[in-house]
């Protein structure tokens, strides 16, 4: 009994050591720096940007779902959830600057992101960069101003499903959403006089509808 008590007291006197053994793969330790919000395959912290896919590689990547694009997103939690959505569906996420947050924001971590999740993300300095990098893709803009429903489109793996920024003080980029580079404008139906759905909820509905049309190719039931 004395031996057990001594062992317990020794552990109690070394809380840092005890906590160290409790960290699971991918979780952020309190002493990580601001650029160490993502871990590699071995659990080592790495730069968020270093983990991303290069723009020139995105168009060469064979996908089973259309690409997803967030134009100038403002809320890091939404983008973090979208990154996880893309990781589990095999979708490539394009983020078009300006962003309303720093990519190293700790709120991105709420989705439990790691290196493999970020490998599905491409960062573009502007919309023109996206168009140039994806010359063979059809851009489908999701906007409340559209008349066609999102279910009335036959999706292709090379498509880009584009969503504008979350509602706020900055006007929606209608010059982008209705511009000449957009092939289709579609909307999600909702009851009138109500606020819009959360951005990533909308994206999830769209991605899964497109994936359903494509037979959930690459999914766990394949």
Establish whether 196 is an annotated binding residue.
yes
67-89 b/e (C-beta count within 10 Å ≥ 16 → b): bbbbbbbbbbbbbbbbbbbbbeb
Beta bridge partners of 25: none
188 labelled as ligand-binding?
Answer: yes
Whole-angstrom distance, CA of residue 5 vs CA of residue 8: 5
Q: Enter the tokens of residue 90.
A: 């095999």
In sequence order, what are the beta bridge partners of 170? none
Q: CB under 8 Å to 138, separation ≥6 — which residues?
A: 156, 158, 159, 160, 183, 184
Question: Closest Cα to residue 139, out of 78, 172, 94?
Answer: 94
Q: Is 81 annotated as a binding residue?
A: no
- The binding site consists of 164, 188, 196
Tell me the binding residues for S-adenosyl-L-methionine. Answer: 164, 188, 196
């Amino acid at each position: 009994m004395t031996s057990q008590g001594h062992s317990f007291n020794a552990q109690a006197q070394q809380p840092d050591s005890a906590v160290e053994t409790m960290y699971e793969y991918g979780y952020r330790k309190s002493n990580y720096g601001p650029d160490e919000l993502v871990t590699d395959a071995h659990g080592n912290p790495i730069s968020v940007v270093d983990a991303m896919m290069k723009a020139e590689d995105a168009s060469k990547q064979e996908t089973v779902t259309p690409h997803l694009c967030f134009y100038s997103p403002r809320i890091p939690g939404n983008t973090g959830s979208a990154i996880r959505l893309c990781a589990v569906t095999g979708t490539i996420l394009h983020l078009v600057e300006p962003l309303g947050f720093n990519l190293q924001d700790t709120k991105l971590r709420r989705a439990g992101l790691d290196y493999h999740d970020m490998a599905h993300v491409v960062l573009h300095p502007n919309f023109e960069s996206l168009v140039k990098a994806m010359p063979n893709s059809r851009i489908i803009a999701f906007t409340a101003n559209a008349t066609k429903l999102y279910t009335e489109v036959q999706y292709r793996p090379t498509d880009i499903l584009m969503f504008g920024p979350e509602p706020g003080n900055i006007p929606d980029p209608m010059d982008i959403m209705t511009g000449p580079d957009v092939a289709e404008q579609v909307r999600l139906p909702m009851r009138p006089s109500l606020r819009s759905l959360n951005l990533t909820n909308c994206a999830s509905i769209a991605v899964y509808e497109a994936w359903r049309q494509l037979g959930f190719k690459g999914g766990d039931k394949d």
